[in-house]
Amino acid sequence: MAGKSEHVAKAVQAAVSTGKRLSIRSGGHSYADFTYNKDVEVIVDLSMMNDIFYDPRRKAFAIESGAQLGHIYETLFRGWGVTLPGGVCPAVGIGGHATGGGHGLLSRQFGNVCDLIEAVEIVVADRPNKVRTVIASREDTGDLKDLWWACCGGGGGSFGVITKFWFRSRGATGSRPAEQLPQPPREVLISTAFAPWQQMDETRFTHLLRNQCQWYVENSDPASPASALCGLLFVQHVSSGGIGMLTQVDASAPNAEKLLEEYLGAVTANTGITPFPFRRLPWMASTVTIDTSNPTVMTNATLRGAVKHAYLRQSFTKEQCAAIYHHMTRPDYANTSPGTAMIQLGAMAGGRMNALAPGDTALPQRRSALVAMFENFWVEAAEDAKHLGWVRDIYGQTFASTGGYPVPGDRYEGCNINAPDLDITNPKFNKSGVPWHTFYFGDNYRRLQRTKARWDPKNVFRHSLSISAH
């Protein structure tokens, strides 16, 4: 357990000197076996390193890697009235979140978390048997610039141990702390809706999915005033629940109520769904409520699980909706554990997340309209095959026309490394012929490989989907 950067450097040095395999833990919320793995002998645990302060020298907010999102939102907002546009789970750590992209309900308005990384302090092993700590920033050139760039979306655990991040908006001006990061809305409009499966048939369901997709396809431009809105659809298997909708709008956006009304009208058209009346809440109160009332967030960090992700540039086709409907209503499958079998379909793409070019950070997905996250969580190891089988089936059939995976192109833009899927390297499931790294990193993979060769030539920092120099 590290308390400061020097402890991390010492731990990494000891592992390197004795040839022990190490892994890194910040918030411990990885969906894969990157940290807790039978081959790992040393875990560098940063969870006690969670300091947050304004650094006037860099005109940026310094956040130690073990800080969790809930602590970050509270501290930044109560201290300076600013925020990071990160995810909804309060216990996710910034170490893994920021390095893999990081997006949440404010990302259409303010971008991904990795877009705001100004610099990183990182323990590296680039010299023979010698560990050192370097700072790599947006302003650097050459190798250090590559290292900073790779830490902005290239995924955690491949280049070194980041001990501290500095965050600052691109193009920020002025010298007041409040000007250096996005200021969240004072108030938000929150709309929810719920439809039990009894009220759905295949026609209505197809309308719902395609309406939702189409709205984002038409409103994903970075300059769109509709970026003030972010909505998610939660489609649970018939045995796990029903269909939920959550929508948040910045209440100060021009015509915010009209934007919400038009969005809900478009998404629910011909579905029979009537949203509950919306509520107006202070942003912080709403953020805390959504964090703690989301059942997947509350339970899935302690369950067995599998996730599969897809960036969508176009709407699901009718055939894809039929495949999803079939698996969501299959009577021969049930998940009645505290977990859930579901798809989240919505706004973790588009808007300001599309303001950068694919090569500006290591995260290449800059042309998508929305994302689909297929997930399943359960309790008993004895049920692994059944629940893994369901998520493999629904995902594989949804993307059947491209070999079972969302091959980057006109329709899709691959997957997010923060939703890692170990099946992607297995040709039994990924029949596309496209290598795993193209889904996560696209054309950025070559620069990531060069950066890996320069900064971690001995492959000290590795896991099942880490960057390989060769």
Site string for ligand FAD, 175-214 (x = CB under 6 A): ----------------------------------------
Cα 57 to Cα 137: distance, rounded to the nearest angstrom: 13
Residue from 161, 245, 273, 321 touching ligand FAD (CB under 6 A): that is 161
For ligand FAD, which stretch binds (CB under 6 A), given 19-27, 52-60, 237-245, 449-457? 19-27
Round to whole Å and give the CA distance between 233 and 346: 6
Stretch that binds ligand FAD, among 22-30, 138-146, 311-319, 437-445 (CB under 6 A): 22-30
Whole-angstrom Cα distance, residue 434 to residue 41?
Answer: 33
Six token digits for residue 281: 């809440």
Q: What is the DSSP string of 383-403?
A: GHHHHHHHHHHHHHHHTGGGT
Q: Using an 8 Å Cβ cutoff, are 118 and 138 in contact?
A: yes
User: Does residue 30 touch ligand FAD according to CB under 6 A?
Assistant: yes
CA terminus-to-terminus distance, the chain? 32
Q: State the binding string over 287-326 for ligand FAD (x if CB under 6 A, else -).
A: ----------x--xx-------------------------
Which of 26, 75, 191, 211 lies at the binding interface for ligand FAD (CB under 6 A)? 26
Instruction: Count the site residues for ligand FAD by CB under 6 A.
Output: 36
**For residues 250 and 347, is the Cβ–Cβ distance under 8 A?**
no
CB of 364 to ligand FAD, least distance (A): 15
Residues in region 84-143 near ligand FAD by CB under 6 A: 87-89, 92-93, 95-97, 99-104
Whether residue 4 contacts residue 10, with contact meaning beta carbons closer than 8 Å, is answered with no
CB of 217 to ligand FAD, least distance (A): 21
Give the integer Cα–Cα distance in Å for 14 and 10: 6
Distance CA 330, CA 237 (A): 8
Stretch that binds ligand FAD, among 20-28, 170-178, 406-414, 451-459 (CB under 6 A): 20-28
Closest to ligand FAD by CB, 200 vs 310, is 310
Sign for the CA dihedral angle at 426, 346, 402, 155 comes to: negative
At closest approach, how far in Å is the CB of 112 from ligand FAD? 8
Using CB under 6 A as the criterion, what x/- string covers residues 380-419 for binding ligand FAD?
--------------------------------------x-
Q: For ligand FAD, which is the closer residue by CB, 102 or 177?
A: 102
Q: Which is nearer to ligand FAD, 303 or 322 (CB)?
A: 303
Residue from 65, 109, 212, 340 touching ligand FAD (CB under 6 A): that is 65
Q: How far is the CB of 204 from ligand FAD (least distance, A)?
A: 28
Which range, of 82-90, 223-231, 257-265, 399-407, touches ligand FAD by CB under 6 A?
82-90
For residue 62, state whether it binds ligand FAD (rule: CB under 6 A). Answer: no
* Other beta carbons within 10 Å of 225: 13
Q: Does 157 bind ligand FAD (CB under 6 A)?
A: yes
The string over 42-74, giving b where at least 16 C-beta atoms fall within 10 Å of a residue's C-beta and e elsewhere, is ebbbbbebbebebbeebbbbbbbbbbbbbbbbb
Nearer to ligand FAD, 93 or 414 (CB): 93
In the chain, the amino acid numbered 75 is: T
Cβ proximity of 161 and 78 under 8 Å: no
Is position 70 an interface residue for ligand FAD (rule: CB under 6 A)? Answer: no
Q: What CA–CA distances, in Å, run from 401 to 157, 308, 320, 411?
A: 33, 17, 10, 11
| Coil, helix or strand at residue 113 | helix
User: Whose Cβ is closer to ligand FAD: residue 31's or residue 216's?
Assistant: 31
Q: Does the protein bind ligand FAD through residue 28 (CB under 6 A)?
A: yes
Q: Length of the chain, please? A: 470
Residue 314 burial by Cβ neighbours in a 10 Å radius (0-12, 13-18, 19+): middle
Per DSSP, what are the bridge partners of residue 23? 43
Residue located via tokens 């540039």? 313
Q: Which stretch binds ligand FAD (CB under 6 A): 83-91, 228-236, 358-366, 390-398?
A: 83-91
Residues that bind ligand FAD in the complex, under the rule CB under 6 A = 23-31, 34-35, 46, 65, 87-89, 92-93, 95-97, 99-104, 156-157, 161-162, 297, 300-301, 418, 463
